[in-house]
């Protein structure tokens, strides 16, 4: 019987999984199994212009082929739009939102949002919606990276919660979904560490429970670039799931995996030994 709460893996269906995304999936899966809680899969499919046809099913097939079996139904952000509308209304009633028409090119030279449109608190067309951060500070203990502290006015400033094209922004949707109570542990890649403060702030403003976080190292190529779809990382070879797992487990501090084990046996072996305290903080070369 699984305990209360759970972990999650939340890929965007913009293409097939690669070794880097497999590492994140395995880390969250092993943590959930080690903690005795459910492991959920959520498809972060709100960015419809970037979604690739068939990628959602391809991701699920890849997870199954690697023995990464999830608990409960697959959640799709595209089916949770009413919840995001409700969250935006709550933030609006608190007077925390404003409407921004600043083009990206005007903001490129600013490390933090300069507050140009902050006075526009009434809805207006052709605008992104931003959340005021004011003097908000966020602190947490990351289960891998240790103590983290942010003053949001110095870490990007007021940020977009609904895009100019009308789509809900990543920060809002992720905060709402990770704060819904079913997710109590967010184990994901180190590249997302700096987004955490914004998501925690949204949860706090909405009165949602904040999960614990752990940001694991990345797989990088020999040039030090993160393995990603943008960097043309090769899709996983679904005919070699055990080999793929053996390539990512050392990045989680799990050396010496049995050479002749299949994917299910490898995950069982790894779950018995997985410990976030022993996961390296540094990235690994694929």
Query: Does position 1 have pLDDT exceeding 70, yes or no?
Result: no
Per-residue confidence band for 3, with pLDDT thresholds at 50, 70 and 90: low
Region label for 207, one of left (φ > 0), alpha (ψ between -120 and 50) or beta (otherwise): left
In tens, the pLDDT along 50-93 reads 999 999 999 999 999 999 999 999 999 999 999 999 999 999 99
Q: Give residue limits of the domains in the chain.
A: 6-285
Pairing state between β 219-220 and 284-285: parallel
Span 24-36, average pLDDT: 97
Query: Cα separation of 180 and 201, whole Å?
Result: 14
Residues facing residue 149 across a β-bridge: 139
Interhelix angle 81-93/196-206, nearest 10 degrees = 70
Kindly state the tokens that stand for 269: 């072996």
Q: What is the pLDDT of residues 87-116, one digit of tens each?
A: 999 999 999 999 999 998 889 888 899 999
Specify the higher pLDDT residue, 271 or 228.
271
Q: How far apart are CA 76 and CA 39, in angstroms?
A: 15
**Is the CATH number of domain 6-285 3.40.50.300?**
no
């Amino acid at each position: 019987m699984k305990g209360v709460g759970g972990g999650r893996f939340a890929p965007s269906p913009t293409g097939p999984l690669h070794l880097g995304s497999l590492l994140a999936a395995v880390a969250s899966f092993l943590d959930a199994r080690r903690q005795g809680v459910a492991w959920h899969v959520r498809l972060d499919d709100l960015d419809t212009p970037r979604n690739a046809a068939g990628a959602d099913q391809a991701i699920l097939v890849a997870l199954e082929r690697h023995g990464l079996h999830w608990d409960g139904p697959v959640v799709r952000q595209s089916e949770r739009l009413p919840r995001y509308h409700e969250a935006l209304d709550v933030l609006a009633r608190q007077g925390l939102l404003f409407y921004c028409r600043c083009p990206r090119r005007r903001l490129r030279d600013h490390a933090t949002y300069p507050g140009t449109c902050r006075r526009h608190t009434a809805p207006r067309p052709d605008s992104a919606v931003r959340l005021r951060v004011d003097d908000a500070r966020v602190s947490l203990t990351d289960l891998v990276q240790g103590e983290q502290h942010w003053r949001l006015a110095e870490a990007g400033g007021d940020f977009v919660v609904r895009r100019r094209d009308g789509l809900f922004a990543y920060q809002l949707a992720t905060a709402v979904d990770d704060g819904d109570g079913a997710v109590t542990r967010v184990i994901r890649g180190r590249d997302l560490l700096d987004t955490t403060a914004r998501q925690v702030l949204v949860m706090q403003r909405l009165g949602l429970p904040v999960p614990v976080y752990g940001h694991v190292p990345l797989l990088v190529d020999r040039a030090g670039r993160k393995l990603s779809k943008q960097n043309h990382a090769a899709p996983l070879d679904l005919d070699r799931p055990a080999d793929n797992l053996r390539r990512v487990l050392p990045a989680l501090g799990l050396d010496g995996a049995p050479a002749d084990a299949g994917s299910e046996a490898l995950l069982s072996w790894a779950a018995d030994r997985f410990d976030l305290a022993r996961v390296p903080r540094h990235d690994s070369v694929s």
